[in-house]
Amino acid sequence: MVILETKHLTHTYSVGTPFARDAINDVSISVHQGEILGIIGHTGSGKSTLIQHLNGLFRPTLGQVLLKGKDIWADPKAIRNIRFQVGMVFQYPEYQLFEETVSKDISFGPRNMGLPEDEIEERIHTAARFAGLKEELLDKSPFDLSGGEKRRAAIAGVIAMDPEVLILDEPAAGLDPKGRDDLLEQIGLYHEERKNTVLMVSHSMEDTARISDRVLVMNQGRAAMLAPTAEVFGRGAELQQMGLQVPQVTRVFMELRRMGYPIRDDIYTLEQAQAEFLRVLKGGAAK
Amino acid sequence: MIKDITLGQFFPGTSKIHRMDPRVKLALTFFLIIFIFVADTVAATALTVAAVLVLIKLTRVPFQMYIRGLKAILLIVLFTSVLNIFYVRTGHVLLEWGILRITVDGVLRSICIAVRIAIMILLSSVLTYTTSPTDLTTAMERLIKPLKALHVPVHEIAMMMTIALRFVPTLLEETDKITSAQKARGADLESGSVIQRMKAMIPILIPLFVSAFRRAYELAMAMECRCYNGGDHRTTMKQLKLRPLDIWAMVISGIFGVGVILCNFIPPHM
C-alpha cells in the first residue's frame, strides 16, 4: 500500500528573480507503507529539498504531495497535523534542543499535539526507549549530555509524536563507528516494533545497503532510480556517473568477478558477503 | 523573509567606484551625507539628487537593488514626511481643517525630508554595495587609528566588527534551520496573540544563543591556536594605496561641496 506519494513535484528557489533555479524537478515517487526507504544522492542533488516537502515545510512550486491519497496542502491551516504524521529528524538534530530537562524537550512535540498529560508522560518513556536513551538521563539538562546522547534525545523528541512516517536526514553523521552501528540498529528495532514507514537520507552506501528495503537515488534534482536495494546497487556504473558509489564490499565482489572468480556480484552487506564466500569455498558454482 | 535583508550586501564588480580606496569611499560618503543636510534650496537639493544618480550609474549595480534598499525604509520616509506637512505652520495656506493646516512651506519641507532620507540611504547603499565588508572594516580601522593616542583599542574594535559582519549570514542560516526543525515538531509560529508568539520564539532563540556561544568559543580557540594577539606591528595582506582615481574622487567631491554652497544662495528655499 502506498502511504506517501509525490506527483510531478517541482520546487524552484527565488521564483521571479534572476537567481531562480530548480532544486527538484518533476519528481514522482511513491513510498510503501511499512518499508525502509534509503535516499542517496550527491551533494546538491535535491535530497533535502525533497524531504522537506514531504512534511509540508516547503510548499511545492508545481505538483503535489499526497499522504494516504490526500493532498497535504488541501487545507493549508491543517499543515501542522501533517507534521505530526510525518516526523522529521534534521541533520545534526542535537542543535535544536532547548528545554531545561531532556524529558521536557522530548515532550515538546506531543504537547504541541495537545495530548493529555498522562499520555505525554508515557510517550516520553516509550520514545526514550526507542531512541536508546537511558532513563536516568531524562531529568538532566540536555546541554549536559554527550554528543551521542544529545543526538538520541533529539531523535526521541520526534519519535515521541509517534509519526506514521519517520524521515531521518543523515542520522548517523558525525558519530563514531560504534555510535553509528548502535543508532542504525536502534532505528531497525524501532521500525520492526512500530511497523511504520522510515525514510533515511544517507551519504553512506554501507548504511543505506544495511537497512533499506528500497533505495531512491536523486540526481540533479530528479529521481534517477527507485528500486529494491539489490537492484540499485547492481547498477554500479550508473551510480558512479552520478558521483555515487556502491558499498565497498560490493566493489570487492565486482572486482573478484572481473578477475574470473565464479562469484556473484550483487552482494552489498557483510552478511551476504560471508554467505557467498562460504558457498564458493564449498565449491558451489556461480549463479 | 530572512533572505530579503540586504544589510551589508556586497556586489563584486570592477567599476570605478569598486576600485576606489575604501578609506576614501568611507570618508567621502560621510562628507557627501553632510552636504545633503547643508543643501536647503531647491537648486542645491536637485544638485545632490543628480550627483547621487551619477554615482549609482557609475557603480554598475542594477538599479533594482537600490530600489529594494529604499523599499525597506519606505514607511519611515512616509511617516516623517507626512508628519512634517502638518508640523510647519508658516507660509501660504493651501488647506485648513480644524487644527490641521497644510501650507506651501510644509509641503516643500516634507518633500525635502523625504528626498534627504532617500538620498542618504542611496549613498550608503553605494558604499556597501561596492565595498566588501572586510575592506570596509579595514578602512574604518585606518580612519579611526588616530584615536589610538587616546588608548582606544582601535584594532580590537575593527576585529569585532569584522567578526560580527562575518557571522550575519551564518546566524541567519542557522535561524532558518532551527525554525524548520521546531516547526517539524509542531511549533506554531504563525497564530496566537503577541505574547503567545513571543513565547513561541523561545524554542528558536535558546538553540540560536547556544550555537552562537559555541561558535564564539570555537573561533576564539582557533584564533588562540594561531597565536593571535591584537594589532601591534601587524601588517595587512592588502596594502591600501591612494591612486589618481581616489584623488579625482576627492577633487570632484570638493567641487560638489562648493556647488551645493553656491546653489544655497539661489532661492527658493525648502
Q: pLDDT tens digit string along A140-183? A: 999 999 888 999 999 999 999 999 999 999 998 888 888 888 99
- Residue B231: its pLDDT value, please? 66
- The rounded distance, in Å, linking the Cα atoms of B132 and B25 is 12
Q: Cell 529604499: give the residue.
A: B70
Measured CA to CA, the distance from residue A132 to residue A279 in angstroms comes to 36
Q: How far apart are CA B98 and CA B93, in angstroms?
A: 13
- The predicted-structure confidence for A255-275, as pLDDT tens digits, reads as follows 888 888 888 877 888 888 888
Structural domain count of chain B: 1
A164 shares its domain with A284: no
DSSP state of A6: E
C-alpha cell at A148: 551521542
| Residue A76: pLDDT over 90 | no
Is any Cβ of chain B less than 8 angstroms from the Cβ of A104?
Answer: no
Q: Same domain, yes or no, for A146 and A287?
A: no
pLDDT at A20 over 80: no
Residues of B with CB under 8 A from a CB of A: 177-178, 180-188, 202-203, 206-207, 210-211
Q: What does DSSP say about strands A86-89 and A165-169: parallel, antiparallel, or unpaired? A: parallel
> How many residues belong to chain B?
270
B69 Cα to chain A: minimum distance (Å): 16
- Of A14-18, A208-212, B76-80, the range with the lowest mean pLDDT is A14-18
End-to-end CA distance of chain B: 38
Sort strands A197-201 and A165-169 into parallel, antiparallel or unpaired.
parallel
Asked if A170 and A195 sit in the same domain, the reply is yes
B270 falls within a domain? no
From first to last of its 270 residues, chain B has per-residue pLDDT tens of: 344 455 557 888 888 899 999 999 999 999 999 998 888 888 888 999 999 999 999 998 888 888 887 887 888 888 888 888 887 777 777 777 777 778 888 888 888 888 888 999 899 889 988 988 888 888 888 888 888 888 888 888 888 888 888 888 888 889 999 999 999 998 888 777 888 888 888 999 999 999 999 999 999 999 999 988 876 677 777 778 888 999 999 999 999 999 999 988 887 776
Q: Calculate the average pLDDT of chain A.
A: 89
Pair A139, A262 in one domain? no
Shared-domain flag, residues A182 and A251? no
pLDDT of residue A284: 58
Is the minimum CB–CB distance between A52 and chain B shorter than 8 Å? yes
Task: Return the pLDDT at B270.
Answer: 67
Nearest to A96 among B178, B186, B188 (CB): B178
Q: Say which range, A4-18, A127-141, A240-254, B5-19, has the weakest mean pLDDT.
A: B5-19
Give the chain B residue nearest A159 (alpha carbons).
Answer: B185
Indicate if A38 and A61 belong to the same structural domain. Answer: yes
Grid look-up 580590537 returns: B156
How is residue B96 annotated by DSSP? E
Of B187, B210, B211, the CB nearest to A112: B187
Asked whether residue A35 is domain-assigned, the answer is yes
Choose the weakest-confidence range: A13-17, A176-180, A202-206.
A13-17
Indicate whether A223 and A259 sit together in one domain. no
pLDDT at B2: 46
Cis peptide bond upstream of B22, omega within 30: no
Alpha-carbon distance B211 to nearest alpha carbon in chain A (angstroms): 7
Question: Residue A239 and residue A193: Cα distance in Å, rounded?
Answer: 33
State residue A137's pLDDT score. 92
Give the domain extent around B151: 2-263
Three cell numbers written together for A204: 553512506
Nearest alpha carbon to residue A166 among A157, A175, A174: A157
For residue B208, the chain A residues in CB contact (below 8 A) are: none
Does the pLDDT of residue A33 top 90, yes or no?
yes
A106 vs B204: CA distance, rounded Å: 15
State which of A193, A210, A234 marks the end of a domain: A234
Supply the range of the domain harboring residue A13.
2-234
CA dihedral B209, B211, B215, B221 (to 10 degrees): 90
A72 and B CB contact within 8 Å: no
Other beta carbons less than 10 A from residue A212's beta carbon: 24
Q: What angle do CA B167, B172, B174 make, to 5 degrees?
A: 95
**Domain-located, residue A239:** no
Q: Which three cell numbers stand for residue A38?
A: 534509503
State phi, psi for A195 to the nearest 5 degrees: 60, 30
Residue A27 domain-assigned?
yes
- Nearest-neighbour CA in chain A from B131: distance (Å): 22
Count of the separate structural domains present in chain A: 2
- pLDDT (0 to 100) of residue B108: 83
Nearest to A83 among B186, B202, B206 (CB): B186
Q: Is residue A241 situated within a structural domain?
A: no
Contact A113 B187 (CB under 8 A): no
pTM for this entry? 0.76
CA-CA distance, A221 to A8, in Å (whole number)? 12
Work out the minimum CA distance from B191 to partner chain A, whole angstroms: 10
Of A55, A95, A113, the CB nearest to B184: A55
Q: Please, what's the b/e burial string for B239-270 (b: 16 or more CB within 10 A of its CB; e: otherwise)?
A: eeeeeeebeebbeebeebeebbeebbeeeeeb
When pLDDT is averaged across residues A85-91 and rounded to a whole number, the result is 93
- For residue A9, count CB atoms less than 10 angstroms from its CB and return exposed for 0-12, middle for 13-18, buried for 19 or more: buried
Question: Exposed, middle or buried by CB within 10 Å (0-12, 13-18, 19+), for B191?
Answer: exposed
Residues of B in contact with A95 (CB under 8 A): 177-178, 181, 207, 210-211
In a domain, B269, yes or no: no
Same-domain check for residues A19 and A84 = yes
At B228, is the secondary structure helix, strand, or coil?
coil
- Cβ contacts (< 8 Å) between B187 and chain A: which residues? 108, 112
SS3 A151: helix
Q: Which of A208, A234, A260 is the last residue of a domain?
A: A234
Residues A54 and A179 in one domain: yes
Collapsing DSSP to helix, strand or coil, B99 comes out as coil
Are B153 and B36 in contact by the 8 Å Cβ rule? The answer is no
In a domain, residue B218? The reply is yes
Question: Which chain B residues contact residue A161 at CB under 8 A?
Answer: 185-186
In this structure, the answer to whether residues A156 and A273 fall within a common structural domain is no
CATH of the domain at A35: 3.40.50.300
Largest alpha-carbon pair distance within chain A? Answer: 65
A93 lies within 8 A of chain B by CB: yes
In this structure, which amino acid lies at residue A119? E
Do residues B112 and B45 touch, judged by C-beta distance below 8 A?
yes
Query: φ, ψ for residue A146 (rounded to 5)?
Result: -80, 170
Q: Are A241 and A219 in contact (CB under 8 A)?
A: no
Neighbours of B199 (CB within 10 A): 11
Single residue among A194, A211, A234 that ends a domain in this structure: A234
Work out the average pLDDT over A30-50. 92
**A281 within domain boundaries:** yes
User: Residues A32, A173: one domain?
Assistant: yes
Q: How many CB atoms lie within 10 A of CB B147?
A: 12
Task: Tell whether A11 is covered by a domain.
Answer: yes
Residue A240 lies inside a defined structural domain of this protein: no
Whether A287 shows a pLDDT value over 50: the answer reads no
ipTM metric: 0.86
Choose the closest CB to B184 out of A83, A98, A113.
A83
